[in-house]
Structure 1
Amino acid sequence: MPRDLLTSQRPAGDGSAPPRREERLVVHLSDLQLGAPGTDALGSLELLVEDLSREDGPGRRADAVIITGDLVHQGTAESYPMLAAALRCVETRLAAPVLCALGDHDDAIAAKAIPSLRAGSWTVHRLGPLRLVLLDSSSGRLGEAQLRWMRRRLATDAPWGSVVCLHHPPVATSLASPPPYPFPRNGAADALRAVVADASAFTEALEGTDTRVVLAGHGRHALMGEVAGAGLLAAPSWARQRQYVVVSMSSGCWSATVRTVGADRTIEPQV
């Protein structure tokens, strides 16, 4: 069963209704890869919270954190409970839900230890007027059943439209961030070609819906493009590059900023 999270309805300190907000902020990262050699996924989450909580950071206004797959490196059952505990701490400190999709390094059964995946790996959530749909491409494809489910969830429009999230990009995309690469250059080129296997069926299912942005990962670099008339943003590898994307959504436009510790870069607003 999908879960609906009405995270925008946070009561004010005096018990009165919260003020009307004209935007929703989604923090997007990917490829956490807990247990990957030479990385510290749990320690890096502390860096994420610290960066978001800076005086000029977006964390105090973030409505959700989305991780688009490769949550762990080997997909072992022991990894997910440790990650779940760390993600609960992130939720508490940011006062925002952490929502996860699955990637090719993940195990769908073991990943049920993650709170947002307990009801299944295809989930839908509401951030006030904005709808989030998270998919499972852990096998490298989405499959007919999941695409039918997605189409049903997108059959009616949300007030501010929808954001669809999956691990594998549905189209080959251009590099939004230049070298140096943290691995051989041909590895980055291969990543650009690594799209979800049933990309054409996904694009067809997306046509005519209210989807405004598709969030993905897998390519390990900040990538941008377009699919079915919606913007496509692929987050860099958080495990290797300590970069994430802040997506600002309003009723009329969206914009995205790629943030690194101590630096950021803005992608122009899109209507």
Structure 2
Amino acid sequence: MTALRILHLSDTHLMGSETLHSGAVDTVAAYTFILEAFENAGPLDVVVVSGDASDDGSPASYGTLRSLTGDFAARHGAVAIYAMGNHDERAGFREVLGNGHPGGVSASPSGYPGMDAPVVGVSEVAGYRILTLDSSVPGRTHGFLDAAQLDWLRSVLAKDSPRGTVLVIHHPPVPPLTALHQGIELINAPALAQALEGTDVLAILSGHYHHHLMDMFNTDSGVIPVVVTDGVVNTNDVLAPPGHERALAGSGGTLVTLTSVPATEHGTGGRTLLRSVPIHRALPPAITPAVVFDLGPDAVAGISATIAATDAELLAGGPVSQKTASPTRKD
């Protein structure tokens, strides 16, 4: 059997200055704390940061991310791979992290001219393909994959990898659970499902929701496990009162292991097993207050009116002119 061991992290929301996230959380200290919690994770193959790595999109924040993640990955024999989230900025991301893959250059694949194009990439680790997509929409909070990116995805997946593919995308292609995330999910998940039909994608790793979630993504050819990991900067409380959005002093990540079981002469095996181990830690008071924020229904409604995908965006299936869209503030 051949295994791939992944530490899946997301939503570090690092700053290029000493500004506190939500006016309350020291993001560098939170990230350092959770990396220390994973020191006994043993040998790893990959450390994945699945988006919202930065909160302000500054090169300085990505430099901090690369330093902390790279040092941790090196100590555990792993490579570090990064994906874009809605808070990330493509220019700053490319300047420091390239395309988010080891040795990746800042240039985009054919069909993506310019530095503002989606940041995508592919790596092969232990016979498995790790593929990152860019579901961010500049200036907006919801996720979307344009036709060019989906065509690129199909072209990459047209040839199977030796042991299968792990897809990393910040916005999960499964419905959200908490109030404020309604309307800022991946708004064209069915288009992604079509692109993944009949491919060798074994699992999808996502962030964005700031809490652990294991779900299944349906395609016409089968279901794909989706592993949503906890936020590093805080944890969204899925048991908050109806209509509330509450973030608590939690941090975490997920240990994901894919194990390829070869077929035997009796016809058994020939499949890949997935094990997902969520790890959660309470952040100490020196890093964050116990309750980062607790928004009531009126506050949630007001923010949602600003950040949620507009009717025009939903009808168009993607970005529209800012003349018809809501103001472009992020959460």
> SS where residue 32 of structure 1 aligns?
coil
- After superposition, the Cα gap between the structure-2 partners of 1:41 and 1:95, relative to the gap in structure 1 and judged at 3 Å, is farther
TM-score norm. by structure 2 comes to: 0.63
Match of 1:27 in 2: 7
Match of 2:166 in 1: 163
- 2:273 matched to 1:253? yes
Q: Which piece of structure 1 moves more, 120-129 or 89-98? A: 89-98
8 Å CA contact 2:34–2:232 kept in 1: the answer is no
- 2:97 matched to 1:114? yes
Matched residues in 2 for 1:205 and 1:221: separation? 27
- After superposition, the Cα gap between the structure-2 partners of 1:238 and 1:49, relative to the gap in structure 1 and judged at 3 Å, is closer
TM-score norm. by structure 1 comes to: 0.77
Per the TM alignment, residue 159 of structure 1 is displaced from its structure 2 partner at its CA by: 2.7
Matched residues in 2 for 1:145 and 1:104: separation? 19
- Which of 1 and 2 has greater Rg? 2
Which residue type is aligned with residue 93 of structure 1?
R
Structure 2 residue ranges without an equivalent (≥5): 16-20, 107-118, 138-142, 235-249, 261-271, 283-331
Match of 1:72 in 2: 54
Matched residues in 2 for 1:207 and 1:192: separation? 26
Matched residues in 1 for 2:180 and 2:46: separation? 31
8 Å CA contact 2:31–2:233 kept in 1: the answer is no
Structure 1 residue ranges without an equivalent (≥5): 1-20, 176-187, 263-271
Q: In the alignment, which of 142, 147, 153 is matched to residue 144 of structure 1?
A: 147
Q: In the alignment, which of 25, 37, 43 is matched to residue 51 of structure 1?
A: 37
Matched residues in 2 for 1:146 and 1:116: separation? 14
Per the TM alignment, residue 49 of structure 1 is displaced from its structure 2 partner at its CA by: 3.2
Matched residues in 1 for 2:76 and 2:29: separation? 16
Match of 1:213 in 2: 203
> SS where residue 74 of structure 1 aligns?
coil
- Percent identity of the aligned residues? 28
Per the TM alignment, residue 83 of structure 1 is displaced from its structure 2 partner at its CA by: 2.4
The CA deviation string for residues 107-142 of structure 1, in whole angstroms up to 9 with x for no partner, is 011112025535242011111121111111121212
> SS where residue 214 of structure 1 aligns?
strand
Task: State the 4+ residue runs in structure 1 displaced beyond 6 angstroms.
Answer: none
Match of 2:132 in 1: 134
Match of 1:7 in 2: none
**How many residue pairs end up in the alignment?**
225
Considering only aligned residues, what root-mean-square deviation do their CA atoms show, in Å?
Answer: 2.0
> SS where residue 25 of structure 1 aligns?
strand
Matched residues in 2 for 1:86 and 1:255: separation? 26
Which residue type is aligned with residue 63 of structure 1?
D
